[in-house]
Chains A and B, each alone.
Chain A
Amino acid sequence: MGLELGIIKIKDVQFGEETVIKDGTLYVNKEELIALALQDDRLSAADVELARPGEKVRIIPVKDVIEPRVKVSGSGEIFPGVVGKMGTVGSGRTNVLRGTALATVGQIVGFQEGFIDMTGPGAQYSPFSEINIVALILHPIDRLAPHAHEEAVRLAGLRVAAYLGKAGKDIAPDELEVYELSPVSDTTLPRVAYVYTLLSEGLLHDTYLYGADAKKLLPTLVHPNEVMDGAIVSGNCVSACDKHTTYHHLNNPVIKELYRRHGKDLNFIGVVTSNLNVTLADKERSSEYASKLVKLIGAEGAIVTEEGFGNPDTDLMMLCKKIEEYGIRTVLITDEYAGRDGGSQSLADAVPQADAVVSVGNANEVITLPAMKRIIGDLKPAEVIAGGFVGSVTAGGGLNIEIQGIMGATCQLGFGKLTARGY
């Protein structure tokens, strides 16, 4: 099951008569995108705005960020079982519009969305400040129930991102990346698995595997290439800093790094997905099942990533303990909630087996950000999003806010370069 990613480098986004890629610029026809979004009659209005790296722009509140991709060959379609046709993905060729993404904007919950600063001190905390953003601003019809609102926005974002991806179908890529888990002849290379936990705590906290709600799934095996074609999509709004956006899933850095070293100093044997549910019984069941799968596939070591914080820390610790009890060594990736002074206990749970932990930073760090010349969306929600507080919006439109509110600031897939050290 080999997959070729054809990387099309997008250096700019502009509005145009047609949605097309010319000389590295993605042109988008605004009306087309709006019409596509409004195919769902639960949405009353939509708009599109563009933001580029370095511009004095703040996008808020952001729900999801999605990288446009398209299947050129191989079975299935991007985001299979959701907006794409169902079919096993992860083989053949997929073209990727690298350097751009669709962001869904508009307030759903008011305390779970986040923001992106395209320049200034806040920019370095989000990978999205470095790419060209097509912001899709969506408004629901009156009195739309929260479940329906979330779904409408989620599907519109994926639908429009898939449409943008199609613009890359016949474009000759700038680079080709080949992903093949070729058999490893050197048996001394350690067999490493990746345990990929997906948040599944209910409304606005869900994730989907081939369109199936992760909270209803037992842990299962996934080929890493399937993830690259959008088999996993985000339906959650958990704190902006540590929710995995669909962009993060598509570009999972643990998968990327394990592939990079496959056959060189390790044998990447596979990916086990598991969920993060709200009852103790479910946490026990999933951690038992996932650790058993890791054992069954013959892993000697496993990397375990978390999504969210608080009670999911218990899942992370259960997985660590059970996998280690099988004699398989683990490394965990997690962020911390150590309080604004950095002095509080960072995780809600702990096991002595968790002796190898990568920290992607303290989400409670407060940061002061300047006002931006242009706001895409609405600045007011900054005071109610997780990480914000009364007074977060300063006179003049600056922000005094926890990095918890910045999209991707402490992504626990290990996407960024932030860490925390003990003083």
Chain B
Amino acid sequence: MAEKKYRVVHYLNQFFAQIGGEAKADIPPFTKEGVVGPGIPLQQALGEEGEIVATVVCGDDYFAENIETAAEKVAESVSPYKPDVFVAGPAFTAGRYGIACGASCAAVGKKLGIPAVTGMYEENPALDLYRKEVYIIPTANSVRGMKEAIPKMASFVRKLGLKQEIGLPQEEGYFPRGIRVNQFVSRTGAERAVDMLLAKLKGEPFQTEYSMPTFERVPPSPAISDLRSATIALVTSGGIVPLGNPDRIEAASASKFAEYNIAGVDNLTPDAYQTCHGGYDPTYANEDPDRVLPLDAMRALEKDGTIGKLYDRYYVTVGNATSVANAQAFGKAIAEKLKAAGVDGVILTST
């Protein structure tokens, strides 16, 4: 019998692990030796080279309600097996299961340094959350696609197990992760540009080297009907912080946002506030931080009754080379806080 070249641990939810349906969706993670459910055809596809040594199982609800702790627990369960590869699902369209697969793969990758792969349908909401950190194989939108999914996932598991280089998404069949990698090629940019233009003009197919990102659109919120009783908050990406930047927001590639109390403050002055944003000439903002965060104007409008109240906290980050992912996360978190505080409208200023 050929020696096993690599060890694999598989992750399944309660349904695919044949524990039960929705009624069992609250079970905490546990481990089974060997394979179960879709792990059986997966093992068959891996043949003699790879061995699925264990299967970690968790209920979808348990995971969804404790994503971070559940993912940690899964990683802890995987650790003693010292596998070469971690594979989860496939999850098809199941949202909670997709999140569980994505988060588990991400945790195993981050905490244990073990390469991981999962599979799901392109509309699974977990795809955009985890595609950058985790290899995700496209599958059909229902369990009827299991027969096609298994060999695709097996061949990827094998590549990871044999430590082979993973090529371009279109070559290897995984969802593009959105990671740009530099490469030297044989022709100069100018030569490639003229080639591309001539092909475009002739109506011949060409491959752009960079696809424009599509940005999510959100529906506009309803207008404020009664400004005189409304609470308005200020938020800025212009880096206006208390003097000394106590929370050390970075001048570029900010990893955080901060919240500061401005109750009783009528005006931002250079003895108390500064900018920490590294992407614009700071002279003017440091002379008068109201130029970026218009606190003085808002106070005046609060005093004369134009607005009901200026919310007594403001939120700040630095919008300089901030990753879109972080910006989205900050935005969501700030919005949750403002909503919970009963704020009616926000003025966001940017530099």
A413 neighbours in B (Cβ, 8 Å): 189-190
Q: Chain B residue with minimal CB distance to A302?
A: B197
B169 neighbours in A (Cβ, 8 Å): 422-423
With both chains docked as a complex, state the minimum distance between the C-beta of B18 and any C-beta of chain A, in angstroms.
36
A414 near B192: Cβ-Cβ < 8 Å: yes
Give the contact stretch, choosing among B33-41, B70-78, B206-214, B285-293: B206-214
With known contacts A423-B177, A423-B179, A350–B212 Cβ distance under 8 A: yes
**Roughly how many angstroms separate A420 CA and B209 CA in the complex, as a whole number?**
7
B181 lies within 8 A of chain A by Cβ: yes
**Roughly how many angstroms separate A301 CA and B196 CA in the complex, as a whole number?**
11
A254 near B182: Cβ-Cβ < 8 Å: no
Tally of contact residues, B, Cβ under 8 A: 43
A357 near B176: Cβ-Cβ < 8 Å: no
A306-345: CB near B (< 8 Å → 1, else 0) gives 0000100000000000000000011101101111011111
A250 lies within 8 A of chain B by Cβ: no
Give the contact stretch, choosing among A29-37, A55-63, A177-185, A359-367: A359-367
B176 near A422: Cβ-Cβ < 8 Å: yes
A354 neighbours in B (Cβ, 8 Å): 212
Give the contact stretch, choosing among A100-108, A255-263, A368-376: A255-263
A344 near B323: Cβ-Cβ < 8 Å: yes
B162-176: CB near A (< 8 Å → 1, else 0) gives 000010110000001
With both chains docked as a complex, state the minimum distance between the C-beta of B165 and any C-beta of chain A, in angstroms.
11
B253 neighbours in A (Cβ, 8 Å): 339
B183 lies within 8 A of chain A by Cβ: yes
Tally of contact residues, A, Cβ under 8 A: 59
Please tell me which one of the listed residues B188, B196, B209 contacts residue A417 in the complex, with CB atoms under 8 A apart. B188
**Roughly how many angstroms separate A423 CA and B132 CA in the complex, as a whole number?**
9
Q: Chain A residue with minimal CB distance to B187?
A: A417
Q: Chain B residue with minimal CB distance to A303?
A: B193
A301 near B325: Cβ-Cβ < 8 Å: no
B311-345: CB near A (< 8 Å → 1, else 0) gives 00000000001011100000000000000000000
A337 neighbours in B (Cβ, 8 Å): 321
B22 lies within 8 A of chain A by Cβ: no
With known contacts A345-B213, A416-B189, A420-B209, A356–B197 Cβ distance under 8 A: yes
Please tell me which one of the listed residues B166, B184, B190, B212 contacts residue A418 in the complex, with CB atoms under 8 A apart. B184
With both chains docked as a complex, state the minimum distance between the C-beta of B109 and any C-beta of chain A, in angstroms.
13
B182 near A361: Cβ-Cβ < 8 Å: yes
With known contacts A266-B194, A342-B180, A345-B324, A331–B200 Cβ distance under 8 A: yes
B215 neighbours in A (Cβ, 8 Å): 350
With both chains docked as a complex, state the minimum distance between the C-beta of A405 and any C-beta of chain B, in angstroms.
15
Please tell me which one of the listed residues B200, B210, B323 contacts residue A301 in the complex, with CB atoms under 8 A apart. B200
A339 neighbours in B (Cβ, 8 Å): 253, 321, 323
A301 near B197: Cβ-Cβ < 8 Å: yes
A423 near B206: Cβ-Cβ < 8 Å: no
**Roughly how many angstroms separate A33 CA and B53 CA in the complex, as a whole number?**
73
**Roughly how many angstroms separate A331 CA and B200 CA in the complex, as a whole number?**
9
Please tell me which one of the listed residues B182, B190, B196 contacts residue A362 in the complex, with CB atoms under 8 A apart. B182
A190 lies within 8 A of chain B by Cβ: yes
B221 lies within 8 A of chain A by Cβ: no
A352 neighbours in B (Cβ, 8 Å): 212
**Roughly how many angstroms separate A344 CA and B196 CA in the complex, as a whole number?**
25
A265 near B210: Cβ-Cβ < 8 Å: no
A420 near B188: Cβ-Cβ < 8 Å: no
B209 near A359: Cβ-Cβ < 8 Å: yes
With known contacts A329-B197, A414-B188, A355–B212 Cβ distance under 8 A: yes
**Roughly how many angstroms separate A233 CA and B42 CA in the complex, as a whole number?**
63
Q: Chain A residue with minimal CB distance to B132?
A: A343
A358 near B209: Cβ-Cβ < 8 Å: yes
With both chains docked as a complex, state the minimum distance between the C-beta of A161 and any C-beta of chain B, in angstroms.
23
A242-279: CB near B (< 8 Å → 1, else 0) gives 00000000000110111001000110000000000000
A300 lies within 8 A of chain B by Cβ: yes
B185 lies within 8 A of chain A by Cβ: yes
B219 lies within 8 A of chain A by Cβ: no
With both chains docked as a complex, state the minimum distance between the C-beta of B167 and any C-beta of chain A, in angstroms.
8
A415 lies within 8 A of chain B by Cβ: yes
A258 neighbours in B (Cβ, 8 Å): 194
B191 lies within 8 A of chain A by Cβ: yes
B198 lies within 8 A of chain A by Cβ: yes
B188 near A365: Cβ-Cβ < 8 Å: no
B225 lies within 8 A of chain A by Cβ: no
Q: Chain B residue with minimal CB distance to A190?
A: B201
A347 neighbours in B (Cβ, 8 Å): 210, 213
With known contacts A301-B200, A422-B176, A357–B209 Cβ distance under 8 A: yes
B283 lies within 8 A of chain A by Cβ: no
**Roughly how many angstroms separate A177 CA and B180 CA in the complex, as a whole number?**
38
**Roughly how many angstroms separate A412 CA and B193 CA in the complex, as a whole number?**
11
A362 near B180: Cβ-Cβ < 8 Å: yes
A422 near B192: Cβ-Cβ < 8 Å: no
**Roughly how many angstroms separate A331 CA and B181 CA in the complex, as a whole number?**
21
B178 lies within 8 A of chain A by Cβ: yes
Q: Chain B residue with minimal CB distance to A332?
A: B193
A420 near B212: Cβ-Cβ < 8 Å: no
A419 lies within 8 A of chain B by Cβ: yes
**Roughly how many angstroms separate A124 CA and B196 CA in the complex, as a whole number?**
25
With known contacts A303-B197, A331-B197, A352-B212, A414–B180 Cβ distance under 8 A: no
List 8 interface pairs A-B (beta carbons < 8 Å), by A numbering. Answer: A256-B190, A265-B198, A303-B193, A341-B179, A350-B215, A355-B212, A412-B189, A422-B180
Q: Which B residues have a C-beta under 8 Å from some C-beta of A?
A: 132, 166, 168-169, 176-194, 196-198, 200-202, 206, 208-213, 215, 253, 279, 321, 323-325
Given contacts A253-B188, A422-B180, 13 further A-B contacts (CB under 8 A): A256-B190, A257-B191, A344-B323, A347-B210, A350-B212, A358-B196, A361-B182, A362-B180, A415-B189, A416-B189, A417-B185, A418-B185, A423-B169
Q: Which A residues have a C-beta under 8 Å from some C-beta of B?
A: 124, 190, 192, 253-254, 256-258, 261, 265-266, 300-303, 310, 329-331, 333-334, 336-339, 341-347, 350-352, 354-362, 365, 403, 411-423
Which 4 pairs show the lowest CB-CB distances between chains A and B?
A: A414-B189, A414-B190, A253-B190, A342-B180
